[in-house]
Structures are given as structure tokens and as C-alpha cells.
Amino acid sequence: MKTIPISAFARGKVQSLLDAFIDNELLVETSLDIIRHTSRCHNCETLIRDATSLRLRVQLAVQKIEAPAHLCRNLSQLISRLR
């Protein structure tokens, strides 16, 4: 996990840590630095909000996709053979 002082934050830093921030993978201190930064930087706040929204929409869309019957059948057969 990375700890980066608030003075080092620029849009590029927030972008590089975006996925880890959204996934809650950063140290608390780093996450708080990002939150403080985005409270003063509208561009980064928008970046995080848009990325979070996109990730949620993708997760919801993927949940609606059903695997083809032949794929489920083939995987089931393969698992049975491996046991």
C-alpha cells in the first residue's frame, strides 16, 4: 500500500491511484489525502465520481449476463472429471 503526502497530489497522482481508491485498497492515510484533495479539486472529484459510477454500471450489467447452456454443461462435465 502506498502513502503519498498531500503536497504530492496532482491530477496525475489521483488518476494513478484511482482504481485502488475505488476498491478501498489504499492505506487510510492515502485515502484521506485523496478525499482532502478532491474537496479542493473539482476535476479530481468529478474523475472519481465518474469512475465509481462507471464501475457500478458495469457490475450491474455483468450480473444480467447469463452464460450459454453449453458452457455451463461443459464446465460441469470438466469439474466432474477432475474430482
CA distances from 3 to 20, 29, 35, 45, 76 (A): 12, 7, 13, 19, 45
Tens-digit pLDDT profile for residues 4-55: 555 555 667 888 899 999 999 999 999 998 999 899 888 889 999 999 999 9
Rounded Cα distance between 43 and 63, Å, is: 30
Report pLDDT digits (tens) over 25-34. Answer: 999 999 998 9
Cell numbers of 64, please? 444480467
Rounded to two decimals, what is the model's pTM? 0.63
